[in-house]
């Protein structure tokens, strides 16, 4: 009935690339590591060569000239600072890299400070997670996932009641693909305590999609859409609805996704896909 195949739809829509990436991750289980700080991943493990220096060199090659000038100025200022002033300058450098989508460098900078608490580990963990979900080099994904996992674990060790740390760790374990139920249990524990936890609901929805539990995925994605509507979440919701045969709801979700998209080509392709669904 449809002239556009499902695989073509995933490419055309583009707004659910994140879903495809998460659902196809099948990596070796991340190790605990023993590097930069207690519990954080080792910078020089046998299966990875990523560290602040290598990541920084790669990042600077892709940054605009004015951004590199800003970074150089901050680096020079950092050399003459100590204590609290140095900590603040390190975070400023990390934010410059993060704002330019160089998340792995940002993560290493967050870890390079002297602070050793849950907040610092969470900053690094979230940056590492963004790095492995949006990799510039896919061969680095296992190492980045390992580091994200280790940092979330360190944050949880420092603050066992921290739901962000628990949901982050759970989602990393699910993404690794080898012991998903361990991660699922962590995520379920989070939503039991906080039913509106965005990250936990999103990742539970993604796992439900992977395991073919589309009705459960819909409930999770609907919760996320209410909390933080976006093109991505409505694209995921549309996919889940279509899998259950609820074409009307899938079309409605796609129309909502359009409100968050400015690319005319993507909008045209979504309209074409909607026409095929409605045939």
For the chain, the domains span 1-26+195-279, 34-176
Classify domain 34-176 by CATH number. Answer: 1.25.40.10
Q: Tell me the fold of 1-26+195-279.
A: 1.25.40
**In the 8-state DSSP scheme, what is residue 42?**
P
Position 44 pLDDT exceeds 50: no
pLDDT at 47: 53
Residue 69, SS3 per DSSP: helix
Higher pLDDT, residue 34 or 151: 151
pLDDT one-digit tens code per residue, 207-226: 899 889 999 999 999 999 99
Position 7 pLDDT exceeds 80: no
Binned at pLDDT 50, 70 and 90, residue 135 comes out as confident
Binned at pLDDT 50, 70 and 90, residue 114 comes out as low
Do 1-26+195-279 and 34-176 come out as alike in CATH topology?
yes
Angle at 47 between CA 45 and CA 53, to 5 degrees: 60
pLDDT at 137: 86
pLDDT at 181: 87
Average pLDDT over residues 21-35: 37
The per-residue pLDDT of the chain, averaged, comes to: 83
Range list of H helices, the chain: 6-13, 17-24, 52-62, 65-79, 83-99, 103-112, 118-133, 141-158, 163-176, 180-193, 198-210, 214-227, 231-244, 247-258, 264-277
Position 103 pLDDT exceeds 60: yes
Q: How many angstroms separate the CA atoms of 274 and 266, rounded?
A: 12
Position 234 pLDDT exceeds 80: yes
Best CA proximity match to 217, nearest among 255, 243, 192, 196: 243
Higher pLDDT, residue 112 or 16: 112
pLDDT one-digit tens code per residue, 178-189: 788 899 999 999
Average pLDDT over residues 71-97: 91
């Amino acid at each position: 009935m449809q002239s556009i195949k499902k695989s073509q739809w995933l490419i055309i829509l583009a707004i659910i690339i994140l879903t495809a990436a998460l659902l196809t991750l099948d990596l070796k289980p991340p190790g605990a590591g023993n590097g930069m700080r207690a519990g954080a991943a080792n910078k020089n493990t046998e299966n990875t060569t990523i560290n602040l220096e290598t990541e920084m060199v790669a990042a600077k090659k892709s940054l605009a000239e004015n951004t590199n000038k800003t970074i150089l100025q901050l680096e020079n200022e950092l050399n003459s600072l100590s204590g609290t002033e140095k900590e603040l300058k390190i975070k400023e450098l990390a934010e410059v890299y993060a704002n330019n989508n160089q998340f792995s460098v940002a993560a290493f900078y967050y870890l390079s400070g002297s602070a050793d608490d849950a907040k610092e580990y969470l900053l690094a963990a979230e940056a590492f997670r963004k790095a492995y979900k949006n990799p510039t080099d896919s061969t680095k994904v296992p190492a980045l996932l390992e580091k994200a996992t280790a940092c979330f674990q360190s944050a949880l060790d420092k603050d066992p009641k921290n739901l962000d740390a628990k949901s982050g760790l759970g989602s990393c374990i699910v993404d690794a693909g080898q012991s998903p139920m361990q991660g699922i249990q962590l995520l379920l524990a989070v939503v039991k305590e906080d039913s509106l936890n965005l990250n936990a609901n999103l990742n539970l929805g993604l796992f439900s999609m992977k395991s073919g539990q589309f009705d459960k995925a819909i409930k999770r994605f609907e919760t996320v859409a209410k909390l933080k509507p976006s093109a991505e979440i409505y694209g995921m919701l549309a996919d889940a609805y279509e899998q259950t045969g609820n074409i009307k709801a899938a079309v409605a979700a796609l129309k909502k996704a359009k409100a968050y998209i400015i690319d005319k080509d993507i909008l045209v392709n979504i309209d074409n896909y909607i026409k095929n669904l409605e045939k």
